[in-house]
Amino acid sequence: MSDPTDEFSFLTDQAADAGIDGPLPHGERLTLTLPDGRALSALRWAPEGTTAAPVVTFLHGAGLNAHTWDTTIIALGLPALAIDLPGHGDSSWRDDFAYVARALAPDVAAGIDVWTDRPQVLVGQSLGGLTAAAVAASRPDLVRELVVIDITPGIDPSAGPSQIREFFAGPTDWASRDELVDRALAFGLGGGTRRKAARGVYFNSRVRPDGRVEWKHHFAHLAAAAAAAGSAADAASVDGTPQDAVSAVLGEAGWDDLATASAPATLIRGERGYVTDADAAEFSRRQPEAAVVVLPAGHNVQEDAPKALGERLRDLAGND
């Protein structure tokens, strides 16, 4: 594949694919140096011809990046911020491999502090949803509304269909992006067409100084290393603690974050997503005042139903 002019060159095609008419927003890449020297990266969006500060902030899921929200933000039509979680996109990897919500929340809060000027409608999908809840609990001054997409505490945000796990556990570098596009299509990933797969590969990969192409996000490299080591036993434990026990602890931490958060909450499910009816019922039991919405989508609601999601979020955000 030939590289586009810049990372915003896909917007016209993305809007057309989703059936969205109207002017496209203006995007810019931002970088914040954190106190320990790591970089936090984000995309700031504003309607064309304006410089309004963001009113909605987006946090993506594991193995994705800020560009997963592009089409949703086009449909939203409001100033927005989309952050690359640590270990993803153009944000630095963590040396401690701590890609869990409470470890990621302080970095996200630092970005919101610098890049916005008012409490946000904070939207997070999968791992980003759990991180959004942790931000809302620890920094209520930053969050006006909390929207959690296709995740509830206790669900593993890095879980998924076996072909996705196998896809990321394979090679981590290739001779060209075309090879990576071929692999995505062979696994039934990438949106169903070569053009869409090429777009996703461009956003989620980089060319190293030696000319090889590698994943940007740390998860694929960690999964491949574990697979190469034959660490099936290690995959079932963390520091010797059984994985189901780890999930239980993280799940309770997530429920505590939701209970502590003072912002009104909404759960948006994909009807083919990870959140089951039982999960949604538990969410409603623990959060009786929260709204629960179902959209015709899989786990990545922002990619499967971006127009419907953008319109829902615009209603929540209002015209502030």
CA 9 to chain centre: 21
Of 41, 91, 126, 205, which one is the catalytic site residue? 126
CA dihedral over 21, 23, 29, 30, signed as positive or negative: negative
Is 26 annotated in the active site? no
Active site (annotated) includes residue 150? yes
Q: Which of 84, 92, 299, 304 is catalytic?
A: 299
In angstroms, what CA-CA distances link 210 with 89, 93, 132, 203, 214? 20, 20, 37, 19, 11
Copy the structure tokens of residue 132.
């959004």
Report the amino acid identity of residue 138: S
CA distance 208 to 216: 10
299 catalytic? Reply is yes
Residues 6+ apart with CB under 8 A from 116: 53, 54, 57, 81, 142
Give the HSE-up count for residue 291: Cα atoms under 13 Å, Cβ half-sphere: 12
Annotated active-site residue in 90, 150, 257, 304: 150
- What residues are labeled active site? 126, 150, 299
